[in-house]
Structure 1
Amino acid sequence: MEEGYQYVRCQMGMYGGAGTDDLKLIATQLARAKNIQPKRSPRSKTPGIYFDPDAYAKSVPRLFDHLRNKLGFGIEFIHDVHERVTPVTAINLAKTLEQYQLFYLEDPVAPENIDWLKMLRQQSSTPISMGELFVNVNEWKPLIDNRLIDYIRCHVSTIGGITPAKKLAVYSELNGVRTAWHGPGDISPVGVCANVHLDLSSPNFGIQEYTPMNDALRDVFPGCPEIDHGYAYLNDKPGLGIDIDEAKAAKYPCEGGNPILDNGAHTRRYGLKTVSNEGPACICRVLFPTS
């Protein structure tokens, strides 16, 4: 928000604790917060903390209660459920979060449970977004036809590319659904440009998920959108306006990973401002370039 973002996706580490896998630190925070003996995960050969859907669902409202008390209602908040709770729990969560006026609640149910959105819609006015796991028209069409979602956020390449995405945007516009294309930390700069061009060409553009790029990416891919105070600015070059500098790309050989894509996608921050594993997924509105 210090960089001008007014639309912020708020995720959690360990149910409101530090975004870390340090078991001792997590246990200490939980004990201090609840004055109880912290529980460890079931014995397993795989180390780490395990996801508890019930604990998660109880913690999310406390997260937004804290944020609204601290920041008021001038900032728009987004939360991603990642389809990790039962449909009934998702419905209860959406109802509980109404008072905090989220910009939208993302992926409350899994694609195989989309019929539950009818019940959710009947019981909650929390705006809903869906789509990053969708791969075909039969998944998103009934949701748009029946006005069961407010934002469609498919991954553009997963549904077939720019042309199918543009058709989806037009169909959504006819039914009052806005776009919010998937823009995770591992999307390429070309994918980012495709998303923003779709945004600029769609009257029903809603919001664009965006993960900041490091200097290496911008060096190798000249023409990336410029981000300023939560707005994305494209250039006026032909096509998507982006290119690849192969000479500079040669400076970043792929050895044991993707150094050029290491843009903080697994970085977590401490406290209630912790973001998810998808990195500092700043979500910004987009304007046309000023020049």
Structure 2
Amino acid sequence: MKIAEIKVFVSCPGRNFVTVKVLTDTGVYGLGDATVNGREMSVVAYLEEHVVPCLIGRNAHDIEDIWQYLYKGAYWRKGPITMAAIAAIDMALWDIKGKAANLPVYQLLGGKSRKGVTLYAHANGENIADTLDKAEGLIEQGFKVIRLQSAVPGLKVTYGVLGDKKDYFELQGNRPLPPEEEWSTQKYFNMIVDLFEQARERFGYTVDFVHDVHSRLTPIESAKLGQMLEKYNLLFLEDASMAENQDNYKLIRQKTSTPLAIGETYNTIWDCKDLIQNQLIDYIRTAATHAGGITALRRIADYASIYNVKTAPHGAPDLSPVCFAAHMHLNIWAPNFGIQEFVGFGNEQLQKLFKHDYRVENGMAYMSDAPGLGIEFDEDAATEYPYKRSYLPVSRLEDGTLWNW
């Protein structure tokens, strides 16, 4: 089964997505996600100029060799653009192999380890009361794990809370340039304990909570936050600090027993190697799209399992339903799966482009036994939603110093 053609689609059904379709000479095809939010066209150029010409005529069943060829053969390894391009091809080849075998991808990985995939949903509010009202709505839907994010009093904008804006395009107004937001750790600290104290008073300990700091704290500030939140028994604290210097998490780990999760910006197993083997984290959050696809994420999961680290794949709305499909197959298989971030299946536009039959019941996602990844893409519908240049925000401290968004 030879690779005959590779198509790259850029569409914007509410958010920009880069979708790859690998077609074979037998008519079987597969889909992959290559979206890097705010740098979409860089991946498109990488694919069209440097990847696609090298793969035409190759055996579509040689997933491992093709992965190694694209990773080792380029000399310039790693990075989000390279790894997203590799990921899209990898997902599509697993999709093809599953369809050729008439089996869902999770069966090729080794079969099910569980009946369904536990999800956590987002409760983002304009204030604490609004956040908890939204959490209550999610709990009534059956979700047993909720991410709590509340606007910080004294700051015009807070991560996760868009206010009257429905997306990042609106934040940018008529000029598609990165919006800038202010950050104050002290103002954040003044709010955060109240959020979880009121959450536990209202809901008790029958549900689990997580919280995303989004890398805005220094390691010592993260250690302090972990201590402040210990009594509220979070499932995990996400992205407390940047860990480009992975030793940062030694300081945090030494000071708090609050479980730690990180990894959504990581692109290879090397980015999280020390954090995992030194047991400095409890959940690894790498995404299939940004970390090299199913082949690479399976390796990370197996490595993490040795050190009692669970998987909790990134699931933001800038990852397409194709990535969610890849995660579902990995999640249902991985013996050390922890939880999957879930923001819903998107708007009507997104559902028009991507077809699947996953269902969500009582905070868990269930998948069918459709061959391959079990997802379809409408090429014609994609042309109705052309690409729009967009950026994530930029963050600055109140004195103007550039900070982590």
CA contact (8 A) 2:314 2:340 kept: yes
Which string of whole-angstrom CA distances, capped at 9 and with x for unpartnered residues, describes residues 156-200 of structure 1?
Answer: 221111101001001111111100001101110101101111101
Q: Once the 2 structures are TM-superposed, how far is the Cα of residue 85 of structure 1 from its aligned partner?
A: 1.3
Tell me whether 1:75 sits opposite 2:75 in the alignment. Answer: no
Check the 8 A contact 1:15/1:60 in 2, yes or no.
Answer: no
Q: Determine if the alignment matches structure 1 residue 149 to structure 2 residue 287.
A: no
Contact persistence 2:154–2:187 (CA under 8 A) = no
Return the letter of the residue paired with 2:326. A
* Structural mapping, 1:109-128, within 5 Å: 109-128=241-260
Residue 112 of structure 1 aligns to a residue whose secondary structure is: coil
CA distance in 1, matches of 2:162, 2:344: 21
Structure (1 or 2) with the larger CA radius of gyration: 2
For 1:6, the aligned partner's letter is K
Equivalent residues, number: 236
Whether the 8 Å CA contact 1:57–1:89 is kept in 2: the answer is: no
Residue of structure 2 aligned with 1:208, choices 314, 318, 340: 340
Please state whether the residue corresponding to 2:205 is helix, strand or coil.
Answer: coil
Deviation at 1:120, TM superposition (A): 1.7
Q: Which amino acid aligns with 2:233?
A: Q
Structure 2 partner of 1:189: 321
| Structure 1 residues 250-265: aligned runs within 5 Å | 250=383, 252-254=384-386, 256=388
Q: Is the contact between residue 146 and residue 210 of structure 2 (CA under 8 Å) also seen in structure 1? A: yes
Q: What residue in structure 1 maps to residue 303 of structure 2?
A: 171
Distance 1:47 1:234 in 2: 38
From the superposition, tell whether residues 113 and 91 of structure 1 become closer, same or farther in structure 2 (CA, over 3 Å).
farther
What whole-Å deviation, never above 9, does each CA across 1:197-219 have from its counterpart, x for those lacking one? 11011011100001112233223
In the other structure, the counterpart of 1:243 is: 376
**In structure 2, how many angstroms separate the alpha carbons of the residues matched to 1:148 and 1:223?**
37
Residue 14 of structure 1 aligns with which residue?
Answer: 152
The one of 59, 82, 87 aligned to 2:219: 87
Q: Matches of 2:242 and 2:180 in 1, distance apart?
A: 25
More strand by share: 2
**Contact 2:268 2:296 survives alignment (8 Å):** no
CA offsets 1:29-83 (integer angstroms, 9 cap, x no match): xxxxxxxxxxxxxxxxx99862212211232111101111111111100001111
Check 1:21–1:215 CA distance in 2 against 1; reply closer, same or farther (3 A cut): closer
**CA distance in 2 between partners of 1:212 and 1:80 (Å):** 18
Match of 2:350 in 1: 217
1:109 Cα deviation after fit: 1.1
* Alignment match, 1:232: 365
Distance 2:313 2:207 in 1: 21
Distance verdict in 2 for CA 1:167–1:255, change over 3 Å: closer
Give matches, 1:92-107, under 5 Å. 92-107=224-239
Distance 1:120 1:255 in 2: 41
1:193–1:122: structure 2 CA closer, same or farther, 3 Å change rule? same
What does residue 3 of structure 1 align with? 141
Distance in 2 separating the partners of 1:154 and 1:186? 14
Could you tell me how far 1:101 is from its partner in structure 2?
Answer: 0.2
Q: Residues 127 and 237 from structure 1, CA distance in 2 versus in 1: closer, same or farther, beyond 3 angstroms? A: same
Alpha carbons of 1:215 and 1:21: their partners in 2 closer, same or farther (altered >3 Å)? closer
CA contact (8 A) 2:246 2:274 kept: no
RMSD value over aligned CA atoms? 2.6
What is the Cα deviation at residue 257 of structure 1? Answer: 6.8
CA distance in 2: counterparts of 1:21 and 1:229, whole angstroms: 28
CA distance in 2, matches of 1:16, 1:227: 37
Contact 1:180–1:209 (CA under 8 A) maintained in structure 2:
yes
Counterpart Cα distance in 1 of 2:278 and 2:236 = 18
Amino acid at match of 1:2: E
**Secondary structure, aligned partner of 2:150:** coil
| TM-score (norm. length: structure 2) | 0.54
Q: Give 5+ residue unaligned stretches, structure 1.
A: 23-45, 259-264, 267-291
Equivalent position SS for 2:355: coil
Deviations 1:237-277 (A, max 9, x none): 11100011234444x3326579xxxxxx99xxxxxxxxxxx
Of the three residues 257, 265, 270, the one matched with 1:138 is: 270
TM-score by length of 1: 0.74
- Secondary structure of residue in 2 paired with 1:10: strand
Q: Is the 1:13–1:20 contact (alpha carbons within 8 Å) kept by the matching residues of 2?
A: no
Sequence identity (%): 38
Q: Which moved more, 1:189-198 or 1:152-161?
A: 152-161
